[in-house]
Amino acid sequence: MKRTLEDLQKRYNSSSSEKRSVGVSMPGPGGGPRRGPGGPPMRGVKSAPPKNTKKTVRRLMSYITSYAAPLIVVLFLMLFSTGTSLVGSYIARPIINNITDLSTPAQERVENLGKILLVMLCIYALGVVSSYLQSRIMLHISQNAVEKIRNDLFKKLQKLPVKYFDTNSTGEIMSRFTNDIDNIEMMINNTITSLISGTITLIGTFVMMIFTNIWLTIIVVCFIPIFAKGGAVLGKHSSKYHSKQQAALGAINGYIEESVTGSKVVKVFNHEDICVDEFELLNDDMREKQFKAQFFGGIMGPIMGNTSQISYAVVAGVGGLLCLFNGFDIGGLSIFCNYSRQFSMPINMIANQMSTVFSALAGAERVFAVMDTEPEPQDKENASSMENMQGHVIVKDVSFGYTKGKTVLKNITLYAKPEQKIAFVGSTGAGKTTITNLLNRFYDIDSGSITIDGVDIKDIKMDELRKNIAMVLQDTHLFTGTVMENIRYGRLDATDEEVIEAAKAASAHSFIMKLADGYNTMLDGDGANLSQGQRQLLNIARAALSKAPILVLDEATSSVDTRTEKHIEKGMDGLMKNRTTFVIAHRLSTVRSSNAIMVLEHGEIIERGDHDDLLNQKGRYYELYTGKKELD
């Protein structure tokens, strides 16, 4: 069934953890399930307009003002460039008066004209040079500032907890790096310069108008409230719609990312038409919000321009009367009319830039929202490095829920020591994967304790904890690079020989050698040129290469055939030597050799023992193993 626009916006706009819940599988494009109820909370979104524009502006400006010296040079060049423009315009006054002064001989007037024009040429030439230097330096400042924003955003992403990535779509996160930062770059690179230059021109022109004629200046000033009021009203509407436009853009990005990633699922279930219809809803919504944002942003310039034309006409009429009855010179009237037009130009320029400003501020607030997200818990002051971790794991009375009031694990207690293989089986959503998430501190427990070698994991340095736990997840992921580099990701200082041995232990060596360049075969697109099973074998080899004393296999062999699985299990016997191994599996044949099997249901361990003990109990495990009751 095709979803409504409101439902799509909630799912694919900006994140809102309050709208997520564990226990409900949210469908992907076309209606397919994303994740079972035992996993972390699902993604949902709630768009919001900018909450604190002043704070966003101050924070954005801090990236620019960090380049104080070149910024001062730019300001000086702006002042100089504006000054040359104003002085050049003022020189037109003696030129016009000289030409219209019939009492002076024509030859003398021509000579005076030549001298004045030469001076004007030199002044404007200096202005062109200063404008060029100003643009080059400002470009340098803007690019460095944007680079720093990108670096800060990416660094923050590395510090965010797994929960953040579980509850925000990849497309939404990518939108911060692309659309939002692109808007910021456009504003810093062009708009800020225009706003500062326009402000300087506005002030300089106002001073020159007063110097030329105070009465005509008063007339121009009377039109300023009209400009200000009109700009404020239009700016308020433009800011609101630009925020909605950015949220709609994030929703489209999130939907496209998920649709492309799940394209095979969409085709298998013939949901192409549904996807197209849902995308059209989002795209149409994006069009409407873009139209309103661009309309209110773009209409500001023309309205201000027409208002300035009225001001220009009034000034010209009153100025003409002053020339006739008050002795005001024609040259003065001419340059004042020019100044009055120049006076409105910066206002029009600023008004035209407001569309870019509002887009950038909306994007900046979204970027800073990521930067302000609570990072992973910091290590305690005296946290242990656990350099010689053995792998004695004790989970005692642990309870946990991804959201308040919804408990996933209830009073879980288990023990594991080196060379032991502990298996978790049970229905989907029973909490098997959650236990391994807590072991890595991807999430912190609500109550109870988890210790390794007698030390609470909260008292162990985070990087040391995870360095000592190797994981093979059900969802495979490979990086762009060679096969050798992808396996070596498990331990960067490993030799080529160690990498090959790890591949052999994972039964990956034989298929690797059949590739075009063997271990030097380039992989891209998350290993798109390999089968799902081959990708998983490389992930297992990566974990095998790690010297971590604790090994977690979360459905690690679910993507390989039974024959390959037996080869992997044989290799794993050597791999698990002196290691504490936790195995999550739906194939019960893979856990028969486990020292202990934990049967979970609804977040509780209902049975425990080895394979033979559990069969003799003839309980839930017996039902699952003999097929008398299917595994959910």
Report yes or no: 561 and 533 within 8 Å, Cβ to Cβ. yes
Cα 476 to its chain centre, rounded Å, is 23
Please compute the mean of the pLDDT values over residues 413-424 and round it to a whole number.
91
To the question of pTM greater than 0.75 for the whole model, the response is no
Band (317; pLDDT cuts 50, 70, 90):
confident
436: exposed, middle or buried (C-beta count within 10 Å: 0-12, 13-18, 19+)?
buried
Buried b / exposed e over 75-110, threshold 16 CB at 10 Å, is: eebbbbbbbbbbbbbbbebbbbebbeeeeeeeeebe
Q: Specify the pLDDT at position 409.
A: 93
Percent of the chain with pLDDT over 90: 16
Distance CA 40, CA 166 (A): 6
Pick the more confident residue, 416 or 178: 416
Report yes or no: 133 and 77 within 8 Å, Cβ to Cβ. yes
Band (300; pLDDT cuts 50, 70, 90):
low
Q: Specify the pLDDT at position 387.
A: 79
Band (573; pLDDT cuts 50, 70, 90):
low
Coil, helix or strand at residue 468: coil
Please compute the mean of the pLDDT values over residues 551-560 and round it to a whole number.
77
Q: CA-CA distances (angstroms) from residue 448 to 89, 316, 578, 596?
A: 79, 83, 27, 21
Q: Specify the pLDDT at position 530.
A: 86
Please compute the mean of the pLDDT values over residues 452-480 and round it to a whole number.
87
Domain boundaries, the chain: 53-371
Q: Which of 315, 319, 323 is nearest to 219 (CA)?
A: 315
pLDDT tens for 225-254 read 776 666 666 666 666 777 788 778 878 877
Q: Which of 372-381, 488-497, 573-582 is predicted with the least confidence, judged by mean pLDDT?
A: 573-582
Q: How many separate helices (H) and strands (E) can be counted in the chain?
A: 24, 12
558: exposed, middle or buried (C-beta count within 10 Å: 0-12, 13-18, 19+)?
middle
CATH superfamily of 53-371: ABC transporter type 1, transmembrane domain (1.20.1560.10)
Q: Specify the pLDDT at position 28.
A: 40
Pairing verdict, β 596-601 and 421-426: parallel
Taking 60 as the threshold, does the pLDDT of residue 447 lie above it?
A: yes
Please compute the mean of the pLDDT values over residues 526-530 and round it to a whole number.
79
Pick the more confident residue, 246 or 410: 410
Q: Which of 237-241, 320-324, 361-365, 481-485 is predicted with the least confidence, judged by mean pLDDT?
A: 237-241
What distance, in Å, lies between the first and last C-alpha atoms of the chain? 24
Report yes or no: 603 and 431 within 8 Å, Cβ to Cβ. yes
Longest dimension (CA), the chain: 125
Taking 70 as the threshold, does the pLDDT of residue 92 lie above it?
A: yes
Distance CA 138, CA 353 (A): 17
Q: Specify the pLDDT at position 498.
A: 92
CB neighbours (10 Å) of residue 55? 12
Please compute the mean of the pLDDT values over residues 369-394 and round it to a whole number.
87
Q: Specify the pLDDT at position 483.
A: 92
Taking 80 as the threshold, does the pLDDT of residue 40 lie above it?
A: no
Please compute the mean of the pLDDT values over residues 495-503 and round it to a whole number.
91
Band (400; pLDDT cuts 50, 70, 90):
very high
Distance CA 41, CA 54 (A): 33
Q: Specify the pLDDT at position 543.
A: 86
Taking 90 as the threshold, does the pLDDT of residue 593 lie above it?
A: no
Q: Specify the pLDDT at position 29.
A: 38
Helices (H), 457-508: 462-467, 483-488, 496-505
pLDDT tens for 136-192 read 898 888 889 999 999 999 999 988 888 888 888 777 888 888 888 988 888 887 777
Task: List, in order, residues 6 or more apart from 564 with CB less than 8 Å away.
Answer: 507, 533, 537, 557
Q: Specify the pLDDT at position 154.
A: 93
Band (264; pLDDT cuts 50, 70, 90):
confident
The order of strands in the sheet holding 604-609 is 469-472, 550-554, 580-584, 421-426, 596-601, 604-609
Taking 70 as the threshold, does the pLDDT of residue 106 lie above it?
A: yes
Q: Which of 574, 571, 622, 614 is nearest to 595 (CA)?
A: 614
Q: Specify the pLDDT at position 596.
A: 92
Q: Which of 132-136, 212-216, 246-250 is predicted with the least confidence, judged by mean pLDDT?
A: 246-250
Q: Which of 96, 31, 37, 29 is nearest to 428 (CA)?
A: 37
Q: Which of 343-357, 512-526, 581-595 is predicted with the least confidence, judged by mean pLDDT?
A: 343-357
Taking 50 as the threshold, does the pLDDT of residue 410 lie above it?
A: yes
